[in-house]
Structure 1
Amino acid sequence: RMVTMAECWNALAEDTRAMSAKRLVELLEESIPGAAGQVKGGQSSLRSLDTAVYRAEARPKALIADFGKRAAAEQVTTLGRMFELLDLAEKQMVVAQMA
């Protein structure tokens, strides 16, 4: 799940990343009250994610390609849904990436 979400994040245009980051922070606050305060934001939180550590993980290339072709609003919604499927430890990893 994490590598798929990271690959989808990397497929976003920068302005869509900003919208997605805002939505993820909203969902994060619902899941882990107070966690949104740990997110610094800014340009560094919008960078592409290094997925090299996941080399051994399979990537759903067709899904990621399809995701990249969707409208920005749909991409934001989809990433939000993916986030909601993460367990607490995975959500905390997302926070760490955005902090």
Structure 2
Amino acid sequence: MAFYLNYNTHFSLIFSLLSFSFSQFDVVEAPSPAADSCNGIFLSYAYSSRTKLKPTDPTHQPYRFESVLMVLNNGDEELKLWKVSVEFQNDE
């Protein structure tokens, strides 16, 4: 997996190959201790689950991935834009 973080003037979020719904996150977990010691932008990614979907082509089994991404700004400057790309290695 590769992560790319970039920020400029607008807020933008891109997830590649992730099924994501804000309604799934009713409970917000407390930031990890590492977030407390960060004096800039803290990025946390946690894989939650994987579910097989009905295959249209059994040789290329589709999956649904669920994850939680948290961006926490502990710095003095406003985070105006950020972009994240989550990439998979095995044609998921």
Asked whether the two chains share a fold, i.e. TM above 0.5, the reply is: no
TM-score for the superposition, normalised by structure 2? 0.27
TM-score for the superposition, normalised by structure 1? 0.25
Q: Which has the higher strand share?
A: 2
Q: Which has the higher helix share?
A: 1
Which structure has the larger Rg?
2
